[in-house]
Structure 1
Amino acid sequence: MSTFNTDKALLLYNKGLAYSEISKKLNVKGSTLRMFFSKNINLGKIKKRQVTVRKKLKEIRLQKKLTQKDVADLAEITRAYYTRIENHTREPSYRVVKKIKSALEYENDDLFDIYKNEEKI
């Protein structure tokens, strides 16, 4: 098993990076990361939290009478990317999370608290 900075791997994962992105940043095989994550964190709790975030995203967007394209344009991302984030098929980076919060004019940290107070890498 290759060695890598496990704290950095967890931080990147919590910021929403995919295994492939983390493996590139840390220069480690994706299969090694999956084995590490499956043994060291409770993926069920993380996935449940992520689904809750996505539901809240949609709820806020609809309350503001915005389309997915409206939010994407305001956040300076593609509509397809935003749709994937909302449908939980893509994890946003820390930078994109900040852009979405700004686009939705959402000030509370409860929606994106898994990203709160994390350093940029």
Structure 2
Amino acid sequence: MKMCLVVDDSRVVRKVARRILEALDFETAEASDGAEALAFCRTAMPDAILVDWRMPNMDGLEFVRTLRQEPEGGRPIVVFCAAENEPARIAEALDQGADEFIMKPFDGDIVAHKFGLAGLL
């Protein structure tokens, strides 16, 4: 079973994402910010990471840049999930190491589609 780390400062968003991912047969783990997510990845690198942009301590962009420099940090598929809708901001996330981008709000069909495009399903 593939593992997906859900990184968002909103407990509600993490819970919704977790339900969707578990329905897609993913094992899931949660982190409330980029620093917590990085600590998790250093102990158990997931197959996929669904990450928010704006979070305290370490935002999603800084997390992805740092993750990609870690041993095996290039392995996980990273899907940004944020309220950002400006093409330049989406391009920035992809340029910094994200593989896909989902805009909030999202649902199971959107997550399944984007995870399929990324080769996770």
Q: Would you say same fold, with TM above 0.5?
A: no
Q: Which has the higher contact order (CA 8 A, sep 6+)?
A: 1
Which TM-score applies when normalising by structure 1? 0.30
Structure with more of its chain in strand, by fraction? 2
Q: Hey, which of these two has a bigger chunk of helix by percent?
A: 1
| Structure with the greater alpha carbon radius of gyration | 1
TM-score (norm. length: structure 2): 0.30
